[in-house]
């Protein structure tokens, strides 16, 4: 039934896009070629009566995806993190997508909890509330642990959500293959890549053990961060479809009146939320990628509390160093250095002209730095930067796109707390401190120590490697002397050099 189901689902999707006025918005965003436009309208217009009406007060794209259901809402949210694919205008529309859906019953939730934990709800919890928040994939209940009297939040996946998402994701793959068939040359579409990315995100959110692990790792990284806290995962009462964590008690970060009433300093909070995000992205390479006001609270002691760890961003150490150098170069307005970093990292092809690229970067940076300090946006800078690098042949890097999107959200949170915040002034010490630790002399020593540890693990194998190389040499040196010079000799030399490096490293460290 997969084929018929996919066709029927795509027809209903096209009909809903036509009925809500979203079809041309979506096609324009993807720069769809004429043939694909014809196919899309052919699937939609004759069947408009099959489409969902949606909420006419919403923008067309948001209206259509909300009407089509949970998988489409989540797909829109993921696409909002990819302006490189859908364009800035549609990405902006999709950022306001809310996945607040009608909750399923408390009885169903309790049944899911008992099935996952293998114990009765009454045995685990002395209290278990009606749902307090319901989204596309899961809903949350407030509860109290029977054994410790601790208040907790219990997140439970919707019954049957895995099967529902699987059916829709299957239809998305089918649609991607159609796009490949009718628009093979559409540069920006990359349909299979987009669906694979979405599929990966959803699979992570459909296994709450992975979200629990992400929350645990995030907590371990940030345990010493002043003014920041995370609810603790209760592993004994968490499983694939249920996650239990400490209750986050505080004032919503989006409620300025409540924040003022509680006596908190909004200027400090605005600066802190920005500093924390940059520290997590640069220092740890692991950051909360959904840091809007709905996922942040202020505790009674003034700490910022973050929760909901379904979307986390990861950046490897090398990319963090490159990103920091690029940011620091812009802060100092050293566009030549920013250009050189792009070439050194291999982001821009070597056949491009570094001086021309530096001039293009100056065209990005100078107008921004000419603004009033309170209007300067790091997120906007990164967005412009990606546009320029794309013109010079840079491959799209998904992790940096997610970072840029989160940067925009965090800036919005910071400005909502303090409209006069100077983003660069707050960011400068964080970036500068990371540069000193990751690129200066201390970083060289640290890198050498890491290299020594890796080489030391191979120390016991070095004699065997040398012996194997010498045995192989006796078989080939007489008949094929060139092989010794081009293949075996370098192996022996490498092994000897490696051994010396290990001995030197042990002596030094």
Residue-wise DSSP of 254-307: T-HHHHHHTT--HHHHHHHHHHHHHHIIIIISEEES--SGGGEEE-TTS-EEE-
Residue 297: strand pairing partners:
252, 305
Residue 212 token pair: 């629990």
Identify the pLDDT of residue 174: 86
Residue 240 lies in a domain: yes
Q: What is the DSSP letter of 492?
A: H
- Catalytic site residues? 290
- Residues 291 and 269: their CA atoms lie apart, in Å, by 14
User: Nearest-5° angle of CA 193, CA 199, CA 204?
Assistant: 130
Residue 415 belongs to a domain? yes
Whether residue 263 sits in one domain with residue 387:
yes
436, two tokens: 């000193």
Say yes or no: 422 and 330 in one domain: yes
Going residue by residue through the chain, which has 509 residues, state the pLDDT in tens, using 9 for 90 and above: 456 778 888 788 888 988 888 888 888 877 777 777 887 888 778 878 788 888 888 888 888 888 888 888 888 877 776 665 677 778 777 776 766 778 899 999 999 999 999 999 999 999 999 999 888 889 999 999 999 999 999 999 999 899 888 888 888 888 888 777 766 655 445 677 778 878 887 887 899 999 999 999 999 999 999 999 999 999 999 999 999 999 988 999 889 999 999 999 999 999 999 999 999 998 999 999 888 888 899 999 999 999 889 888 898 888 888 888 887 888 788 999 989 998 888 888 888 899 999 998 898 888 776 666 666 677 777 777 777 777 787 776 767 777 877 888 888 889 889 988 888 788 888 888 887 777 666 666 666 666 666 666 666 776 776 677 677 666 655 555 555 455 555 555 555 455 554 444 444 44
φ/ψ of 81, rounded to 5, equals -90, 0
Q: Name the residue among 81, 134, 409 with its Cα closest to residue 254.
A: 409
pLDDT at res. 108 = 95
Q: What is the pLDDT of residue 349?
A: 87
The answer to whether residues 258 and 330 belong to one domain is: yes
CA distances from 295 to 18, 253, 305, 489 (A): 34, 8, 8, 59
Provide the token pair at 334.
């050293």
Assess whether 319 and 410 both reside in one domain: yes
Residue closest to 26 by CA, chosen among 75, 98, 71: 75
Q: Is residue 72 part of a domain?
A: yes
How would you class 113 by CB atoms within 10 Å of its CB: exposed for 0-12, middle for 13-18, buried for 19 or more? buried
Q: Which of 382, 409, 439 is the last residue of a domain?
A: 439
Answer whether residue 388 is part of any domain: yes
Separation of alpha carbons 112 and 110, rounded Å: 5
Residue 199 within a domain: yes
Q: Among 439, 465, 483, give the residue marking a domain's end.
A: 439
459 and 356 housed in the same domain: no
pLDDT at res. 276: 95
Residues near 401 by Cβ (< 8 Å), separated by ≥ 6?
Answer: 81, 82, 83, 84, 386
Domain limits for position 240: 105-158+207-247
- Length of the chain, in residues: 509
339 located within any domain: yes
Same domain, 398 and 374: yes
Residue 229 has what pLDDT?
A: 94
Q: What pLDDT is stored for residue 151 in this prediction?
A: 96
Please check whether residues 254 and 396 belong to one and the same domain: yes
Residues 238 and 253 placed together within one structural domain of the fold = no
Q: Is residue 444 part of a domain?
A: no
Q: Are 303 and 425 contained in the same domain?
A: yes
| CB hemisphere CA count around 474 (13 angstroms) | 5
Q: What is the pLDDT of residue 187?
A: 46
- Looking at residue 83, its pLDDT comes to 66
The Cβ of residue 395 has, within 10 Å, a number of other Cβ atoms equal to 10
Res 93: pLDDT: 74
Same-domain check for residues 174 and 278: no
Q: Check residue 306 and give its pLDDT.
A: 94
340: which residues sit within 8 A by CB, 6+ positions away? Answer: 354
In a domain, 272, yes or no: yes
User: Token match 């699979």: residue?
Assistant: 203
How distant, in Å, are the alpha carbons of 10, 144, 178, 290 from that of 75? 15, 34, 18, 15
Gap between the Cα atoms of 412 and 405, Å rounded: 11
Pick left, alpha or beta for residue 346 (phi over 0 → left; psi -120 to 50 → alpha; otherwise beta): left
Residue written as token pair 């491009």 = 352
For the domain that residue 132 is a member of, what is the CATH number? Answer: 3.30.200.20
Q: Is 400 found in the same domain as 292?
A: yes
| Residue 299 pLDDT | 95
Say what the pLDDT of residue 412 is: 84
Q: What is the count of structural domains for the chain? A: 4
- Of the three residues 215, 231, 247, the one that is the final residue of a domain is 247
Could you tell me if 409 and 261 lie in one domain? yes
């Amino acid at each position: 039934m997969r084929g018929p189901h996919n066709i029927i689902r795509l027809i209903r999707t096209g009909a809903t896009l036509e009925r809500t006025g979203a079809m041309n918005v979506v096609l324009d965003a993807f720069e769809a070629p004429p043939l694909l436009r014809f196919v899309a309208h052919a699937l939609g217009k004759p069947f408009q009566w099959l489409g969902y009406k949606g909420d006419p007060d919403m923008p067309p794209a948001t209206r259509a995806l909300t009407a089509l259901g949970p998988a489409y809402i989540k797909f829109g949210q993921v696409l909002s993190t990819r302006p490189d694919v859908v364009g800035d205008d549609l990405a902006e529309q999709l950022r306001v997508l809310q996945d607040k859906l009608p909750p399923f019953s408390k009885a169903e939730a309790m049944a899911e909890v008992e099935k996952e934990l293998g114990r009765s709800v009454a045995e685990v919890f002395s209290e278990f509330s009606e749902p307090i928040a319901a989204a596309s994939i899961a809903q949350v209940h407030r509860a109290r642990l029977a054994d410790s009297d601790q208040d907790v939040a219990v997140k439970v996946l919707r019954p049957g959500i895995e099967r529902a998402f699987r059916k829709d994701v299957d239809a998305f793959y089918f649609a991607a293959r159609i796009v490949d068939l009718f628009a093979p040359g559409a540069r920006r579409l990359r349909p299979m890549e987009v669906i694979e990315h979405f599929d990966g995100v959803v699979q992570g959110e459909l296994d709450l053990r992975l979200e629990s692990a992400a929350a645990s790792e995030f907590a371990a990284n940030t345990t010493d961060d002043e003014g920041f806290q995370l609810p603790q995962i209760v592993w004994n009462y968490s499983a694939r479809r249920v996650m239990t964590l400490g209750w986050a008690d505080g004032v919503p970060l989006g409620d300025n009146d409540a924040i003022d009433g509680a006596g908190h300093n909004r200027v400090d909070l605005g600066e802190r939320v920005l500093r924390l995000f940059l520290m997590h992205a640069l220092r740890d390479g692991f950051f909360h990628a959904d840091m809007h006001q709905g996922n942040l609270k202020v505790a009674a002691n003034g700490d910022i509390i973050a929760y909901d760890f379904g979307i986390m961003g990861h950046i490897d150490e090398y990319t963090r160093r490159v990103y920091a150098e690029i940011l620091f170069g812009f802060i100092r307005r050293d566009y030549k250095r920013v250009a050189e970093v792009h070439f050194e990292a291999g982001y821009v092809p070597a056949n491009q002209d570094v001086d021309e690229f530096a001039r293009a970067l100056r065209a990005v940076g100078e107008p921004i730095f000419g603004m009033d300090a309170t209007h300067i946006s790091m997120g906007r800078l990164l967005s412009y930067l990606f546009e320029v690098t794309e013109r010079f042949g840079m491959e799209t890097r998904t992790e940096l796109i997610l970072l840029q999107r989160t940067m925009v959200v965090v800036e919005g949170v910071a400005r909502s707390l303090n409209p006069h915040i100077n983003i660069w002034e707050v960011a400068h010490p964080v970036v500068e401190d990371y540069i000193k630790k990751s690129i200066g002399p201390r970083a060289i020593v640290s890198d050498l120590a890491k290299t020594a540890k890796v080489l030391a693990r191979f120390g016991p194998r070095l004699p065997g490697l040398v012996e194997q190389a010498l045995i192989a040499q006796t078989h080939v040196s007489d008949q094929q002397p060139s092989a010794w010079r081009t293949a075996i000799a370098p192996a022996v030399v490498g092994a000897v050099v490696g051994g010396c490096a290990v001995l030197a490293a042990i002596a030094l460290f």
